[in-house]
């Protein structure tokens, strides 16, 4: 009799535990558009040896899966997507994991490296999960360039997409602006006043690190940005006596003037993802507005209407353009599809603060921009699908003019 | 006796079951969010990737004529001229500002070896890049006025600081109007 009750008891317990487990619910991958109803993911099943590198890997992975906007990280071992396997801090960092999602999705991922590699490897895995599970490019492993102003002066900095590994790159302490990545992330262009005038410089990380003067013509030299194929650089110069848009052949250093607007000035060029077009700003129509121009065009075509100003455009990987627009005395971040045109869509909060200088993340979903509150500038990550903006660098100083590598 | 034993075992098993279920339902406290541990300075020693010693400054591009403001020429001592002020988002010189430029013209006509860099500036409104272009356009307007008055083009260059070097800090029109300006920097050739 006692054995009978024991057996019933055990069966009852098992029945209860099975029915209460979330794993019993069939998970499915949801592609959402409004930042809600996200796919649950857990990294809890990963085992580690409690070493520092393993702990860093786990935290960076978990945090950036959440930041991606596609996932809701959950504690416990049950979720729609499970990351299991082993992390070891012995001799550096060793990662061997399996990512699984129902009904039959899975992949394995293994890497080794020095202890310092724990963070970048976690960012890389985050992007791989986004790509494999969601079918979308990630943003986690794409670094950001920015301008920082602290007690020592103004310089160019870089950081990870979540603000980690913030590093000062230049140490001149002089006015600098307009950093833009080289397409292979081997360096960047930027404008610096090293000799008290604006000149465009090219920095290569190497090693060895190298900085060369790219454009120091009489007048203005600004807004240098390299084409996706690495062969050309668009820039704004006034060596002809008026501020115009030019393209420089980086091999020969020869210049081609792309605009002729003697009663207007241009600024802020950027390339389309395939390098066949330029987007830029011109005040030829009395106020600064966004224009596009194909390589075969003799003049640009205005893209944005309906705002008192539209400036600082950036072209995203999916073909959408983001820019800063002024309406009602305030600057906000907008997006527009150059193929279909139409009314620009406001993607920054209408909270009484100015949002400027947007730059797309490679996921074509998030945007980093400069927010000004009072007199302080800070960098904020916006989500075009509605998640709450996140401050990128929550430490003392002014941080602005970011460029997200594509 | 038998029923007591059964009851005791049942209680024990219930306890074990409760622990089993509780373990499955327990949630860990969320980890502390934030990218930087307390006391950590990401800009501490060793954080710089490139230092001055690592940089190989190499002028690979020949510029179209030396810049007066590159540091090679000395500034003209005591030559301080009033800035020219501009309207909002405007590069045209207001008529009431002409006299200031006329004073510079007179000085340059009397001192043939003096060359000039006109510096264009903007107030804080608008993006940094557009303001750099607008500041340059203001400087070019002054340069054109000087050329019309007979000052040789090769004696006048322009530069722009956009909103990067305000004359007065703060906000509001009383401050902004003092930052929308063209300044005169004279050098001795």
Q: Which pLDDT band holds residue A36 (cuts at 50, 70, 90)?
A: low
Q: Which pLDDT band holds residue A381 (cuts at 50, 70, 90)?
A: very high
Nearest CB neighbour to A197, from listed B56, B70, B127: B70
Judging contacts by C-beta atoms under 8 Å, the chain B residues touching residue A162 are 35
CA-CA distance, A293 to A404, in Å (whole number)? 23
Instruction: Say if domain A23-134 classifies as CATH 3.40.50.10070.
Output: yes
Going by C-beta distance under 8 Å and a sequence separation of 6 or more, which residues neighbour residue A329? none
The tens digit of pLDDT for each residue in A50-86 reads: 999 999 999 999 999 999 999 999 998 889 999 999 9
Judging contacts by C-beta atoms under 8 Å, the chain A residues touching residue B90 are none
Which pLDDT score is estimated for B13?
A: 52
Please answer yes or no on whether B35 and A163 come within 8 Å at the CB atom.
yes
Mean pLDDT of A332-346: 94
Please answer yes or no on whether A196 and B137 come within 8 Å at the CB atom.
no
Q: Residue B127 belongs to what domain range?
A: 76-180
Give me the number of domains chain B comprises: 1
Mean pLDDT of A111-117: 97
In a 13 Å sphere around the CA of B4, the CA atoms on its Cβ side amount to 1
SS3 A293: strand
Q: Which pLDDT band holds residue A215 (cuts at 50, 70, 90)?
A: very high
Write the ipTM: 0.83
CA-CA distance, B172 to B170, in Å (whole number)? 7
Which pLDDT score is estimated for B31?
A: 28
Judging contacts by C-beta atoms under 8 Å, the chain B residues touching residue A356 are 127
Give the residue from A315, A339, A312, A338 showing the smallest Cα distance to A325.
Answer: A312
Nearest CB neighbour to B60, from listed A205, A212, A400: A212
In a 13 Å sphere around the CA of A348, the CA atoms on its Cβ side amount to 30
Going by C-beta distance under 8 Å and a sequence separation of 6 or more, which residues neighbour residue A309? A287, A288, A289, A325, A326, B126
Q: Which pLDDT band holds residue A374 (cuts at 50, 70, 90)?
A: confident
- Domain map of chain A by residue range? 23-134, 144-404
Task: Name the superfamily (CATH) of residues A144-404.
Answer: TolB, C-terminal domain (2.120.10.30)
Q: Does residue B115 lie in a domain region?
A: yes
Note if the bond before A307 is cis, omega within 30 degrees.
no
SS3 A299: coil
Please answer yes or no on whether B137 and A6 come within 8 Å at the CB atom.
no
The tens digit of pLDDT for each residue in A223-246 reads: 999 999 999 999 999 988 889 999
Any idea of the CA torsion for A158, A164, A168, A169, to the nearest 10 degrees? -40
Which pLDDT score is estimated for A1?
A: 46
Going by C-beta distance under 8 Å and a sequence separation of 6 or more, which residues neighbour residue B55? A209, A210, A211
Q: Which pLDDT band holds residue A258 (cuts at 50, 70, 90)?
A: very high
Tally A–B CB contacts below 8 A: 210
Q: Which of residues 61-120 of A touch B (CB under 8 A)?
A: 62-63, 75-76
CATH assignment of the domain containing B151: 3.30.1330.60
CA distance A237 to chain B (A): 9
Beta strands A309-315 and A321-327, pairing class: antiparallel
Which ranges of chain B have pLDDT less than 50? Answer: 1, 7, 11, 14-37, 40, 45-65
Query: b vs e for A341-369, b when ≥16 Cβ sit within 10 Å of the residue's Cβ?
Result: eeebeebbeeeebbbbbbbbbbbbbbbbb
Question: Residue A342 CA to chain centroid, in angstroms?
Answer: 25
Nearest CB neighbour to A17, from listed B5, B20, B52: B20
Q: Does residue B127 lie in a domain region?
A: yes
Q: Does residue B42 lie in a domain region?
A: no
């Amino acid at each position: 009799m006692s054995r009978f009750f024991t057996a019933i008891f055990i069966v009852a317990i098992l029945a209860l535990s099975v029915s209460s487990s979330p794993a019993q619910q069939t998970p499915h991958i949801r592609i959402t558009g409004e930042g809600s109803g996200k796919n649950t993911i857990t990294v809890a099943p990963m085992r580690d040896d409690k070493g520092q590198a393993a702990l860093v890997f786990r935290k960076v992975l978990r945090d950036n899966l959440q930041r991606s906007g596609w996932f809701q990280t959950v504690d416990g071992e049950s979720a729609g997507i499970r990351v299991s396997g082993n992390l070891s801090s012995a001799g550096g960092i060793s990662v061997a994991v399996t990512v699984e999602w129902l009904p039959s999705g899975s992949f394995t991922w293994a890497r080794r490296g020095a202890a310092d590699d724990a963070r970048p490897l976690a960012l890389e895995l985050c992007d791989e999960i986004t790509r494999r599970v969601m079918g979308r490019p990630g943003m986690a492993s794409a670094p950001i360039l920015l301008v920082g102003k602290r007690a020592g002066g103004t310089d160019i900095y870089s950081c990870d997409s979540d603000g980690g590994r913030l590093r000062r790159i230049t140490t001149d302490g002089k006015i600098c602006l307009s950093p833009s990545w080289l397409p292979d992330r081997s360096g960047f262009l930027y404008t610096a006043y090293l000799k008290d005038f604006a000149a465009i410089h090219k920095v290569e990380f190497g090693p060895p690190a190298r900085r060369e003067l790219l454009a120091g013509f009489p007048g203005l030299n600004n807004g240098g940005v390299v084409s996706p194929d690495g062969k050309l650089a668009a820039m704004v110069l006034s060596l002809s006596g008026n501020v115009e848009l030019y393209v420089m052949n980086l091999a020969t250093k020869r210049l081609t003037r792309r605009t002729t607007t003697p009663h207007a000035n241009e600024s802020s060029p950027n390339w389309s993802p395939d390098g066949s077009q330029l987007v830029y700003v011109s005040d030829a129509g009395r106020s600064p507005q966004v224009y596009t121009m194909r390589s075969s065009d003799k003049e640009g075509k205005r893209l944005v209407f309906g705002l008192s100003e539209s400036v600082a455009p950036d072209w995203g990987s999916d073909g959408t353009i983001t820019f800063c627009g002024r309406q009602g005395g305030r600057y906000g971040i907008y997006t527009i599809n150059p193929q279909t045109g139409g009314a620009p869509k406001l993607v920054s909060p209408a909270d009484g603060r100015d949002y400027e200088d947007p730059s797309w993340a490679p996921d074509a979903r998030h945007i980093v921009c400069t927010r000004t509150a009072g007199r302080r500038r800070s960098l904020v990550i916006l989500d075009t699908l509605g998640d709450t903006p996140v401050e990128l660098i929550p430490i003392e100083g002014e941080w602005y003019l970011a460029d997200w590598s594509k | 006796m038998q029923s007591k034993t059964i009851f005791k075992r049942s209680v024990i098993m219930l306890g074990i079951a409760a622990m089993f279920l509780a373990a499955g339902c327990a949630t860990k406290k969320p980890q502390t969010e934030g990218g930087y541990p307390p006391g950590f300075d990401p800009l501490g020693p060793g954080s710089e990737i490139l230092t001055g010693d690592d940089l190989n400054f190499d002028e690979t591009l020949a510029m179209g004529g030396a810049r007066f403001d590159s540091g090679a020429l000395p500034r003209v001592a005591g030559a301080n001229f009033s800035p020219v002020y501009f309207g909002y988002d405007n590069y045209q010189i207001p008529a009431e500002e002409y006299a200031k430029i006329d004073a510079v013209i007179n000085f340059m006509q009397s001192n043939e070896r003096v060359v000039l860099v006109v510096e264009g500036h903007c107030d804080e409104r608008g993006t940094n890049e557009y303001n750099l272009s607008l500041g340059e356009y203001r400087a070019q307007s002054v340069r054109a006025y000087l050329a019309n008055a007979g000052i040789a083009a090769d004696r006048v260059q322009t530069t722009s600081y956009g909103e990067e070097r305000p004359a007065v800090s703060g906000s509001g029109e009383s401050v902004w109007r003092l930052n929308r300006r063209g300044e005169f920097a004279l050098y001795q050739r």
